[in-house]
Copies of this chain bind each other. A is one copy, B any other.
Amino acid sequence: MTRTPNPDRRRDRSRRATLAAALELCVERGYAAATVDAIAARAGVSKATIYRWWPAKSAILLEAVDEAAPIPETFPDTGDLAADLLAWLSGILGVFRDPHLGPAFTGLLAESQLDAHLAQQLRERLIDHRVAQLEERMTKARENGELAADADLEVALDVLHSPIYRRQALHYPLPDDTYLDRLISLVMRAIGPAHTD
């Protein structure tokens, strides 16, 4: 035990306070109102400090969502592809539905739509490496004969992921597990081994 000030620990405390404040403000006041000014005031951190670490509020929120998002880094592999896909898509849906993360995540998606650079960061940080794992898993399944030899995996992956995003973006009801089951069934009928449905 030491009472000597520890700059690393102080820095870490300020960083965590900033991430938490940014998420809270999105929940309480909405993404647009979660400005750097408001985040700094809520976190008790100076704006100068925030701008030393992050170039914009979107970078703070991206880091906060990335740290807290309950999507596994590793694609599940129980041997049952349909079950694994359900777990996977439920995880993504969980971020949209999460009361603490959902407002920040949908705000980042809205801002990305008008900001190609932010979209790229969001893809790199949250999406692409995860989708690459799913692609690897499905490529193996195609090699093993679990999927048709001519299964179009690129389109299948888009088709599995996209309805959640479009429904959220246009405020249609978000999918539930029954919907996800139907989506996975449709895709498996299209790319599963021939004549077994």
Given contacts A114-B107, A166-B165, contact A155 B183 (CB under 8 A): yes
A183 to B158, CA, bound (A): 9
Q: A117 CB to closest chain B CB, in angstroms?
A: 9
Q: Are A170 and B114 in contact (CB under 8 A)?
A: no
Q: A39 CB to closest chain B CB, in angstroms?
A: 18
Closest to A184 in B: B155
- Judged by DSSP, the binding face of A is helix
Closest to A181 in B: B155
Q: Are B195 and A191 in contact (CB under 8 A)?
A: no
Q: A128 CB to closest chain B CB, in angstroms?
A: 10
Q: Are A169 and B159 in contact (CB under 8 A)?
A: no
Write out, one digit per residue, whether chain A residues 116-131 have a CB within 8 A of any chain B CB (1) or not (0). 1001101100010000
Given contacts A114-B30, A183-B155, contact A170 B107 (CB under 8 A): no
Identify A119's interface contact among B127, B171, B183, CB under 8 A.
Answer: B171
Question: What would be 10 A-B contacts, judged by CB atoms less than 8 Å apart?
Answer: A116-B171, A156-B186, A158-B166, A159-B183, A165-B166, A165-B169, A169-B169, A186-B190, A189-B190, A190-B190
Query: What residues of chain A have their CB less than 8 Å away from a CB belonging to chain B?
Result: 30-32, 106-107, 109-114, 116, 119-120, 122-123, 127, 152, 154-156, 158-159, 161-163, 165-172, 179, 182-183, 185-187, 189-191, 194-195, 197
Task: Apart from A109-B113, A159-B163, list 6 A-B contacts with CB within 8 A.
Answer: A109-B169, A127-B170, A162-B163, A165-B166, A169-B169, A187-B190
